Amino acid sequence: MLSNNTNSEDWAPLKPFDWNEVDPNIIGTGSIDTTCTIWDVTNQTARTQLIAHDRKVCKLAFAQGKDIFTSVGANGSVFMFDFQRLDHSTIIYESHKTIPPPSTRMEQTRSQ
């Protein structure tokens, strides 16, 4: 675990997960508690945790570079975040449905 917290009851399950390809010391996770957390693996700490969606986070992926990531919520909404401006996010798609539409597939363009 990346925390001194040893009580597993205090942690919501983390399902979506992505490595930052530019900086492999950074990983991102999403959770059923609606948050996205960016972790520093080397220091074993959370760099930031954002309440990203109204429902659980279903997908999280880093974009090309190390400062941008996107997430998809259970209602199908897609948000883009920038580490340089965490006070705001960009809404890429927003839906009021409770289940992501079948065509909701998120992949980031990555450098080859």
Which residues does 84 contact at the CB level (< 8 Å), separation at least 6? Answer: 67
Q: Please tell me the predicted confidence (pLDDT) of residue 65.
A: 79
CA angle 12/75/109 to nearest 5° reads: 85
Say how far apart CA 4 and CA 9 lie, in whole Å: 14
**E-strand spans in 3-112?**
14-19, 26-31, 35-40, 45-51, 57-62, 68-73, 78-82, 89-93
- For residue 85, give the nearest of 111, 48, 57 by alpha carbon: 48
The 10s digit of each residue's pLDDT in 21-60 is 999 999 999 999 999 999 999 999 999 999 889 899 999 9
The 10s digit of each residue's pLDDT in 3-23 is 444 444 556 677 788 999 999
Task: Retrieve residue 58's tokens.
Answer: 């279903």
